[in-house]
Amino acid sequence: MRGWTILVWTSIFFLTVGVDRSCSAQSFDVDDFSPSALPAVPEGFEATFFALEPEVHNPAAIAFDAKGRLFVGHGPQFRHPKEDTRGDEVIILEDTDGDGVADSRKTFAHGFNSVQSLAWKGDDLWVANAPDLTVVRDLDGDDVADEYQLIFSGVGTLEHSLHGLNWAPDGNLYLSKGDTPVLPEAPKAFRELAHVPSDYPDTQPTRVFNAPDSEEKPYRGTYIVPTDPHTEGGILRCDESGGNLEIFARGMRNPYDICFDEGFNWFGTDNDQDGGDRIMMPFYGARYAHRHPWDYQWKGDDHLPTLPASGPFFHGSGTGVSYYSSEEFPQDYRGVFFIGDWLLQKVYVIHPRWDGALLKSNSDELEVFAESGPDRSLFRPTDVAVGPDGALYVSSWGATYGAEYDDSNRQINAGRIFRIASSDSNHASGDKVESPKRSKPLSEWTFDELAEDLDGEVLVWRVNAQDELVRRGEEVQEPIETALTSKDLTKGQKTWLAWALGRISPKDSEIDRFFLDLLKDRSADESLPIQSVRILAFRSGSDENDRLPEEIVGYLNDDSARLRFESVQAIWQTNSKEWTNPLIERLAVEEDRIVYFSLWGVLRDFLPVEERKELLVTSSSGEVRLGILLGLLEEGNLKGNEVVEILDSETDPQIQKWASKWMANVGQGLEDPKQVIDKILDLNKRGINYELRMNLLAALDRMEVHGEDWTKLDEKFYEGHKNGEIYVPEKSQEIALCLKILSRDERALPLLWDGLDHEWDPVRGAAIESFRNLDEKGREYLLARLDSIEGDQLEAAIEALSLFDLKKSPWTPNDKQVAAIVQACNNSTHPIFRQEALRLLTLVDSQTWVNPSAKSFAVELAKQTVLDPDPRIYTLAEELGQLVGEEVHAVRRDPATSEVVLSLLGNADASQGKMLFYQQGGRAACFQCHRVGVEGKNFAPDLSDAGGRLDPKTLVQSILEPNAVITEGYRAQMVETLDGDLLTGVIVKETDSSLEVVQSDGEAIRVNKADIVEKRNLDTSIMPSNFATLLTPEEVADIVAWLMSQTGPTDDRFVKKAE
């Protein structure tokens, strides 16, 4: 299967050279580090080291067990492991003397692929170690895992893979999965999410092994060559056996971590390399924009086919997410989410609020809770967890991107575990660890002791206490009901207790009645009513013969958007199709965007296609017709001619907008250009907004327009719009696209020629791009008129000529044409254009230079341009000189080296570096891909605080040797089209029908997937690799000096809490 040819599916035994698995009793040497090595935190908090290298290397995941000990997943696997690379391990770090510093280390389990998430349930540690999901158990109590159970395998490579393991109150495991492909053998839900067709069974058998160093049936990690292809990511869930696996939410790129609050509401982040990382609220059936079937819109603002974000976007790398509710922190820091940012070296705090049915940040600004100190401390958060003492623990990656070893093959990467605690802590949480009950088995705990742990700081305390209550069954039914109705419980205790009862005796109607009564009690807050709806749906869904109580359907019309949302979710997840009509009625009047999305989503799943198509015609509600349309378009169950018919009859502006948008992006089955042109003219006559016409023009752009259709489009639309006294951006884009469509007929040649001199840049650009659509006729038309124009039109004509493949068909310009090109080159100060002009002259037929006049023009140009310091220009000048028989030689300098550049930093000019960074068409022009503050683009890593997180040596290496260390997500990909074009860059937008490639010069090119022959990954960065010769050592030093001065936030949406 294409795209997986470089994957290797094999069993391996990871090397264990130089690994000491014994328990370490020594204390970590944290006193050797100055306070500047610690992250900066708000007043009233204190950051300290809990552990650091050499005991910890590149830690990626942390979790506390029921004894309050910290388990850390770390090792050399990320990011370029080979088959014989030593496996990652999970170690136990313990503070035995209570001084806040780990003094004991022991290896619990080893031999893993890249460990990226850990989650405890009972005595089982679940390990996400791409491409596997593994459970390890200590069977004999010696704190060393004896049994390794392989739950899933083949579920992605180590990049953008399996993260975010969370055991939830409903007894299910929730998993976040990035967008790397899975193998055909993977379970069906993973294959569906990743768009991988396969005839393999839907499930995988669970396999049990002994420890990796056992002689009998040892555990072996599954090795897959790390690659960067991308499909679709999302959230999945399964039960404690790995069964009932299903997609929970989708449309994500790399949801590194998720967690839930006291009310069992999900929150997480999703990484993106150009649109900014997204904060989101996943829910059942949710779909965000990544790999959307027909319209990619990352941010989701006013994008009804997908969902909005739940907080400000940030151009970093979101990692661990944790919810905090302990009383150990001040009130302002309770009921909040903490989010790690590996790239920008920060931890954010999000104060959530409800906006209708959407859980979101209460601010449009990101509040920084912890960040790298002024001396650029090694603070690269990968995971965040609340400890049993109420402190926040943050694992921190080392300074290098991948494993490093000493001469003895020992890993030497740095690694830190930071502990952030309140200065005024009463340490009440720490007493919970020492509680006498923890010396007893859970089966001997009292009900109150179990209920206490349901509000515990450590997630596994809540999970284990609830599981014990569920195990006891009917004997705790009455105590739970009494507690829920009479005791002063925290919201977290209410949630976990309610779900414990909900998991007991699914066929007990008395329990159902209890939750129906709770649902009616709105005296306090919505917490228990919301849990009641969810639990009743959960209990109904446990048996297909049990139906959802009718009372829940009544909440479709509740004043609370949250209860309406939960009612829709309950109907959806229980497949209660008998309530379809009330759903349609609610869709007609619903104003909350999250509820509306869920309503059309459930109707998409419940109603047959033909019934929904009939509703498009018969429903009197525009909201219903719109929702039905969105569902049909997402499935691909409407064709172009059907959508045109909808546009002919529809008056609802939202339906017109999204129908025409689909036509612009997909237009499947739309073959008659006359239909589309007539519709464009009709919209134009009626003054319907420009966006609809643009969408229809985009659909027309995929067709061949000739004959009477061409004439109609030219005379009745283009001619009437092509000129205007006032520049209107929308109008210019519309005319530019129309000109591109007309350019496929040779009658467009005069239009294109006039377009080269058009005052509107988009129209001029379209003319330049479109001449090549007419092949030889377009080229000859340009050449015949080249010596009759000057100025901007001449430059535009030369740009148009440069787009032809002149190597295949050399041309012989006369001396006037050569003179025109030379004049344009001399008059221009734009390096890219000067290159194009010179390259044109190097591609002419050799007979051109027989003409003495033509030759003299070329010789003079070669002599002048060979003096240019830009190697892209002087190498072409040397080539031109050679072709015309006049040797010219540039003064070449040695390539810039890291050693030389670093030696120049002391005298570097940062202002000159800024100019080089932002110079349009310059030799650096870094802004075309990189962003600093609010300026630039996000196709490459954000450099807004480069000086705060990178050292000069790293920056210099990144400029001179971009392929040495490639940041995840920025590996180049190559796309080959049917026309023979080879596009190299990074793919930033992709739907089922098209993708967008951003090339190294920052230009984004949209490609229809039907036109793609092959798409493959390259082991190179998207950043050009020629800066060592393109820039002088002084210029590199200037750029680095300026970047080192950038220590601020990525934009003005970052704030620090006032101290």
> What are the CA-CA distances from residue 505 to residues 136, 171, 470, 477 (Å)?
30, 14, 9, 10
Let me know if 682 is exposed, middle or buried by CB neighbors in 10 A (0-12, 13-18, 19+). Answer: middle
Say which residue, 64 or 979, is predicted with more confidence. Answer: 64
Radius of gyration of the chain (CA): 32
Say which residue, 689 or 345, is predicted with more confidence. Answer: 345
Question: Quick check: pTM over 0.85?
Answer: yes
Taking 80 as the threshold, does the pLDDT of residue 902 lie above it?
Answer: yes
Q: What does the pLDDT average to over 252-278?
A: 94
Ramachandran angles phi, psi of 719, nearest 5°: -65, -30
Task: Kindly report the number of other CB atoms within 10 A of residue 185's CB atom.
Answer: 18
| pLDDT on residue 683 | 79
- Kindly write down the DSSP assignment for every residue of 988-1020, as one continuous string: EEE-SSEEEEEETTS-EEEEEGGGEEEEEEEEE
Taking 80 as the threshold, does the pLDDT of residue 415 lie above it?
Answer: yes
pLDDT in tens, 42-75: 999 999 999 999 899 999 999 999 999 999 999 9
Instruction: Quote the percentage of the chain above a pLDDT of 70.
Output: 93
Question: Per mean pLDDT, which of 382-391, 713-722, 867-876 is the most reliable?
Answer: 382-391
Instruction: Give the whole-angstrom CA distance, residue 1055 versus residue 312.
Output: 12
- Kindly write down the DSSP assignment for every residue of 866-915, as one continuous string: TT-S-HHHHHHHHHHHHHTT--------PPP-HHHHHHHGGG--HHHHHH
pLDDT band at 542 (very low <50, low <70, confident <90, very high): low
pLDDT band at 4 (very low <50, low <70, confident <90, very high): very low
| pLDDT on residue 723 | 66
Instruction: Give the whole-angstrom CA distance, residue 860 versus residue 881.
Output: 9
**How many Cα atoms within 13 Å fall on the side-chain side of residue 501?**
30
Question: Per mean pLDDT, which of 3-12, 202-211, 368-377 is the most reliable?
Answer: 202-211
Taking 50 as the threshold, does the pLDDT of residue 1058 lie above it?
Answer: no
Instruction: Give the whole-angstrom CA distance, residue 888 versus residue 881.
Output: 6
Q: Number of helices (H) and strands (E) in the chain: give both, helices first.
A: 35, 37
Instruction: Give the whole-angstrom CA distance, residue 209 versus residue 224.
Output: 20
| pLDDT on residue 31 | 61
Instruction: Give the whole-angstrom CA distance, residue 431 versus residue 436.
Output: 10
| pLDDT on residue 878 | 92
State the distance between the two ends of the chain, measured CA to CA, in whole angstroms.
Answer: 57
| pLDDT on residue 6 | 27
Q: What size, in residues, is the chain?
A: 1059
Taking the CA atoms of 465, 467, 471 and 475 in sequence, report the sign of the dihedral they define.
Answer: positive
Mean pLDDT of the chain: 89
Instruction: Give the whole-angstrom CA distance, residue 803 versus residue 1042.
Output: 36
Unique residue bearing structure tokens 């002791």: 449
Write out the H or E segment, with its range, that includes residue 355.
strand 352-355
Taking 50 as the threshold, does the pLDDT of residue 1059 lie above it?
Answer: no
CA-nearest of 577, 574, 603, 578 to 590 is: 603
Strand partners, 175: 236
> What are the CA-CA distances from residue 779 to residues 355, 701, 816, 944 (Å)?
58, 22, 17, 45
- Kindly write down the DSSP assignment for every residue of 602-662, as one continuous string: HHHHHS-HHHHHHHHHH-S-HHHHHHHHHHHHHHT---HHHHHHHHHH---HHHHHHHHHH
Say which residue, 79 or 350, is predicted with more confidence. Answer: 350
Range list of β-strands (E), 113-185: 114-121, 124-130, 132-137, 147-152, 162-167, 173-177
> What are the CA-CA distances from residue 732 to residues 688, 735, 764, 766, 770 (Å)?
17, 5, 10, 10, 16
Taking 50 as the threshold, does the pLDDT of residue 14 lie above it?
Answer: no
| Least confident segment among 11-25, 174-188, 549-563, 1024-1038 | 11-25
CA-nearest of 635, 578, 569, 630 to 602 is: 569
| pLDDT on residue 831 | 86
> What are the CA-CA distances from residue 150 to residues 38, 74, 115, 211, 765 (Å)?
38, 19, 14, 12, 57
pLDDT band at 1051 (very low <50, low <70, confident <90, very high): very low
| pLDDT on residue 8 | 32
C-beta of residue 607 within 8 angstroms of C-beta of residue 571: no
Instruction: Tell me the two tokens of residue 569.
Output: 């979710």
Phi-psi domain of 933 (left: phi exceeds 0; alpha: psi -120 through 50; beta: other): left
| pLDDT on residue 95 | 93
| pLDDT on residue 544 | 61
Unique residue bearing structure tokens 């999945």: 236
Ramachandran angles phi, psi of 43, nearest 5°: -60, 135
Taking 50 as the threshold, does the pLDDT of residue 610 lie above it?
Answer: yes
pLDDT band at 373 (very low <50, low <70, confident <90, very high): confident
Instruction: Give the whole-angstrom CA distance, residue 809 versus residue 845.
Output: 9
The CA-based diameter of the chain, rounded to the nearest angstrom, is: 106
Q: What does the pLDDT average to over 248-258?
A: 97
Kindly give, in sequence order, each residue whose CB lies less than 8 Å from that of residue 200, ignoring residues fewer than 6 positions away. Answer: 184, 185, 186, 191
Instruction: Give the whole-angstrom CA distance, residue 791 versus residue 803.
Output: 19
Say which residue, 783 or 145, is predicted with more confidence. Answer: 145
Taking 90 as the threshold, does the pLDDT of residue 154 lie above it?
Answer: yes
Say which residue, 1000 or 1038, is predicted with more confidence. Answer: 1038
Ramachandran angles phi, psi of 935, nearest 5°: -105, 150
Q: What does the pLDDT average to over 602-608?
A: 98
Instruction: Give the whole-angstrom CA distance, residue 45 versus residue 806.
Output: 67
Write out the H or E segment, with its range, that includes residue 433.
helix 428-433
C-beta of residue 34 within 8 angstroms of C-beta of residue 51: no
C-beta of residue 684 within 8 angstroms of C-beta of residue 696: no
Q: Would you give the DSSP letter of residue 922?
A: -
C-beta of residue 466 within 8 angstroms of C-beta of residue 500: yes
Q: What does the pLDDT average to over 212-230?
A: 85
Instruction: Give the whole-angstrom CA distance, residue 885 versus residue 856.
Output: 11
CA-nearest of 1019, 1054, 1030 to 942 is: 1054
Prior bond to 131 cis, omega within 30? yes
Strand pairing report for 114-121 and 104-112: unpaired
pLDDT in tens, 630-656: 999 999 999 988 998 898 889 899 999
Helix (H/G/I), strand (E/B), else coil: 275:
coil
Kindly give, in sequence order, each residue whose CB lies less than 8 Å from that of residue 467, ignoring residues fewer than 6 positions away. Answer: 121, 122, 171
Ramachandran angles phi, psi of 657, nearest 5°: -60, -50
Q: What does the pLDDT average to over 876-894?
A: 90
